[in-house]
Structure 1
C-alpha cells in the first residue's frame, strides 16, 4: 500500500507543477492519467499481457506468484485497473489475473459482436487454459459477479472459491435507486456528458476516491467516449439476465456451486440493493457474508484495504 500511495504523491507534485506553470491540454491530461495507471500497476508488479481468446484479443494484467491463483473480474463499464488498489493490499505471493472483459478497457469488441455473459465466461475460461491453470479463486464485482457465478456453474471443477462483491445476477426484495431510474427510461451508469458522469460517480460510490484535476477530466472523456459500446454491452447483459431468469439460474447455483463462497456488499449500494444478499445466501447457504456500512457499489475502490483483507482471510481459511 505504501509504495502505491507514494507513487501517486510523487506524480501529484509533478501534475500540479505543470498545471500552475503552463496549464494542461487534453492530451497532457490523458498522458498524466496513463502515467498514474502505469505507476499503480508497477507498484503491484502487474504486467500487461495480451492473447487471443476465442473471438477477441484479450488484454489482462498478471502477477505470477507461488501462492493461490486469483482472478478478479470487473463490472459493467469498468476495466481491469479498477482493482489496482485492492490488488496492492493482497498477499505478495498471489498469482493475480485481472482481465479486461470483451468491449472494456483495452480489450476490443469481439469478432461476433456479442457481450452475452455466458460468452464472457467462456472467454475467461480460454484465458485460464492459456495460462495453464487448473484451479483458481474467482472474484467478481457487479456484472463481474454475475459472470463469476456463471463461470462457476459451467466449470465447477476449476473453482476453489467464489467471491461475489455487490454482484449482479439475483435481485433482492427492495428495488434499488438504479433500477427505479431504469424503469423511468434512464440508465445512470452510461455517462453521456459531464453532468451524467458526475451523477454516475455519485451513484456508484458512497466513498469517493481521490481523483484530482487534471486526472478527472481524462477519466470523464474516456467514459463518455464509450457511450455507444456501453449501450451495446448493457443490452446484451440485460438479455442474458432475462434468459437466465427463465432457466431458473438461482437453482442452478445451488446445484452446481459446492465450493466455499464469500459475499461482500456495501450497505449503501444504490445500484444493486443490499437486500439481494439474503437471496444469494438462500441459494448459496455455505456463503460467508460480510457487509460494509457506509460503503457503496464498489468496495474494492472505496475501501480497498479492508475488502482485500476480508478476501485474503477467506482464501487463507480454505487453503
Structure 2
C-alpha cells in the first residue's frame, strides 16, 4: 500500500511539473495557483502607506556547513527558477534563501509605488534580519545582479562573497537610449502576449534558439497575460521596474565593492534595455557581454571572471553544469 501511495504521489508530482512546462494557464496576481519547489514564507511590510507582502523560500540543508547563500531573481522571473541551484547547494550544506522581490512572483504587486534598488535591498535585509542571518554570499542574476550589487554596497559587512550571473546594468543605457516614461513602458507591456514574450526570450535570452525546458519560465509571464483583470497590475509593475532599472545604474560603483566577486558571463548575451530605440550606429555596441564582462572585472578590486562560450543570458537554465561548477569552486575557495 505504501509503495502504491508513493507511486501515485510521484506520478502526480511529475504530472504537475509537466503541466507547468506545457501550455500556459491563467495565473493569479501572486501566483496563488502556481506551485513553488520549496515551502514559501512571507513577511509583511508597510511601504509608502501600503501593506505589502514579500514571499521567500528558506531551504534548509540536511547537513549544514554553517554557510548561507541568497539567490536573487531577474526582472522577468521569480525565485522558482533557482530550483536546481538551490537543491544542489543545499546538498553541499548551504542554507539557501530565495526572495521574490516586491512586484514579482508570489509577492505583492503595488501599482503606485516608487521602486528603487535601495528599497529592494532594505526589504531583503529585513527578511535576513528576521532569520537572524548576519553573514552570507549573495548571488544575483540579470536584474537580480543590480539588486545584489546595491545590497552589497549598502551592507558590505554582511556580504562575504558576491556572485553576478549575466547581470544587467553593466553599462548606463541613458547615455545612448532615449528616455521613455512609465506610461510608455506600461503601454508596451499591455500589448504583451504568449507569442511576443516567447519571441523576446528567443532573441534576448537564448540567442535565437529554443528548447522545451524553457517553456516552464515563459509560462509564468505568459500565464499572467491570460488574466486580463490582474494583468493591468502586472503590466504597471513591469513598467515601474523598467523605469527603476533604466534610471538607477550601478555600473559607476563597482569599484567600491570590497568583497570577493565572481562574474559568470554567458558570451552570447546581448541584453540592453531599450536597445531598439538607440541610434542605429550604436545598437550593435550595446549589450556586448564579452566586452562588458571584462570591463566590469577590471573595475572590481577583487573579481574573478568566468566566461561561458555558446551561452546567453541564463547560464543556470541553459547550461547548468557550466554554471554550477565555477560557482561551487568560488564558494569553497
**TM-score range relative to shorter protein:** 0.7 to 0.9
Equivalent positions of 1:279-290 (< 5 A) are: 279-290=295-306
Partner SS for 2:268: coil
Pick from 275, 278, 302: which aligns with 2:318? 302
Is 1:291–2:307 an aligned residue pair?
Answer: yes
157 and 309 in structure 1: CA distance in 2 versus 1, 3 angstrom threshold = same
| Structure 1 equivalent of residue 276 of structure 2 | none
Question: Does structure 1 conserve the Cα–Cα contact (< 8 Å) formed by 2:110 and 2:237?
Answer: no
Q: Distance in 2 between matches of 1:212 and 1:8?
A: 22
Is 2:122 the partner of 1:122? yes
| Contact 1:250 1:283 (8 Å CA) reproduced | no
1:3 match? none
Counterpart of 1:108 in structure 2 is 108
Q: Supply the distance in 2 between the matched residues of 1:311 and 1:305 (Cα, whole angstroms).
A: 10
CA distance, structure 2, for counterparts of residue 13 and residue 107 of structure 1: 22
SS, match of residue 166 in structure 2: strand
Q: What's the TM-score, normalizing by structure 1?
A: 0.74
Asked whether the 8 Å contact 1:300–1:307 carries over to 2, the reply is: yes
Partner of 1:90, secondary structure, is helix
Alignment match, 1:254: 255
What is the root-mean-square deviation of aligned Cα atoms in Å?
4.0
Secondary structure, aligned partner of 1:58: strand
State yes or no: 1:221 paired with 2:223.
yes
Q: Give 1:276's match in structure 2, choosing from 279, 292, 301.
A: 292
Residues 1:98 and 2:98 aligned together? yes
The alpha-carbon deviation at position 289 of structure 1 amounts to 0.6
Deviation at 1:314, TM superposition (A): 0.5
Change (3 A) 1:35 1:113: closer
Native 8 Å contact 1:70 1:95 kept in 2: yes
**Unaligned segments of structure 1, at least 5 residues:** 1-6
Matched, 1:198 2:198: yes
How far apart, in 2, do the equivalents of 1:214 and 1:165 lie?
20
- DSSP-derived class of the 2:305 partner: strand
Change in Cα spacing, 1:223 to 1:90, as seen in structure 2 (3 Å) is: farther
Alignment TM-score, normalising by the size of structure 2:
0.72
**Alpha-carbon offset, residue 229 of structure 1:** 4.2
Cα distance in 2, alignment partners of residues 69 and 261 from structure 1: 16
CA drift of 1:212 comes to 8.9
Where does structure 2 lack aligned partners over 5 or more consecutive residues? 1-9, 273-286
- Render the CA deviation track for 1:66-87: whole Å, top value 9, x for unaligned: 2311100001121011111222
Residue number in structure 2 paired with 1:83: 82
State the Cα deviation string for residues 141-171 of structure 1 (Å, max 9, x = none). 1111001000000010100111111112221
* Counterpart Cα distance in 1 of 2:220 and 2:254: 40
Q: Distance in 1 between matches of 2:246 and 2:84?
A: 33
Where 2:212 maps in the other structure, the secondary structure is coil
Residues 54, 73 of structure 1: CA spacing in aligned structure 2 closer, same or farther, 3 A cutoff?
A: farther
1:64 to 40, 60, 70: 60
Count of aligned pairs: 286
For 1:186 and 1:112, locate their aligned partners in 2 and report how far apart those are by CA, in whole Å: 15
- Name 2:212's counterpart in structure 1: 210
Q: Distance in 1 between matches of 2:216 and 2:155?
A: 43
| Partner Cα distance (1:79, 1:222) in 2 | 13
Please give the per-residue CA displacement for 1:200-234, whole angstroms capped at 9, x wherever unaligned: 22022246453498997676223565754455445
